[in-house]
């Protein structure tokens, strides 16, 4: 069996594992309208299946920012090949039959974990959670 055919089979098999769905948006540059209202366009660049997991043990980084303690967890999002993702993109979990608690979670893509012969794209994401101290 060639590497190419094995990779195709592996990608099909992993796609079947992606039971959750997500929407990915890419925040653009702020735009000011004629009334002085500033908005940031966030076009949708992907809608479809996804799979989330913690990379090994959960990693949390707590830091204080102007009186608010921010808890940041790292999560790996796996998405099918096709769309090119970039750091700063936002992933919103739309459904997850395996963990309904994830629905509505918004993750920020921190970096891309590119690999040759991968079965899915891996995106290292930040799950930012804040609470007043």
Spell out the domain ranges in the chain: 3-132
Report the pLDDT value the prediction gives residue 90, as an integer from 0 to 100: 96
CA distances from 114 to 45, 50, 62, 68, 119 (A): 19, 16, 27, 34, 11
Question: CA 63 to CA 70: how far, in whole Å?
Answer: 6
Query: In DSSP terms, which residues pair with 73 in a beta bridge?
Result: 60, 127
Report the pLDDT value the prediction gives residue 50, as an integer from 0 to 100: 94
Burial 23-47 (b: 16+ CB within 10 A, else e): bbbbeeeeeeeeeeeeeeeeeeebe
For 3-132, CATH number? 2.40.10.270
Question: CA 13 to CA 1: how far, in whole Å?
Answer: 16
Q: Nearest to residue 55, comparing CAs of 127, 132, 133, 124?
A: 124
Low-confidence ranges of the chain (pLDDT < 70): 55-70, 129-133
- Between the two ends of the chain, the Cα-to-Cα distance in Å is 58
pTM: 0.79
Report the pLDDT value the prediction gives residue 133, as an integer from 0 to 100: 38
- 90, 32 contact by CB (below 8 A): no
């Amino acid at each position: 069996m060639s590497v190419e055919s094995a990779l195709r089979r592996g990608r099909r098999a992993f796609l079947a594992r992606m039971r959750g769905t997500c929407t990915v948006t890419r925040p653009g540059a702020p735009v000011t309208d004629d009334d002085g209202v500033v908005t940031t366009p966030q076009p949708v660049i992907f809608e479809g299946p996804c799979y989330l997991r913690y990379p090994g043990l959960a990693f949390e980084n707590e830091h204080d920012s102007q009186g608010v303690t921010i808890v940041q967890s790292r999560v790996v999002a796996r998405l099918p090949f096709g769309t090119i993702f970039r750091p700063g993109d936002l992933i919103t979990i739309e459904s997850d039959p395996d963990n309904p608690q994830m629905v509505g979670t918004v993750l920020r893509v921190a970096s891309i974990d590119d690999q040759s012969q991968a079965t899915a794209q891996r995106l290292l994401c930040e799950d930012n959670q804040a609470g007043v101290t």
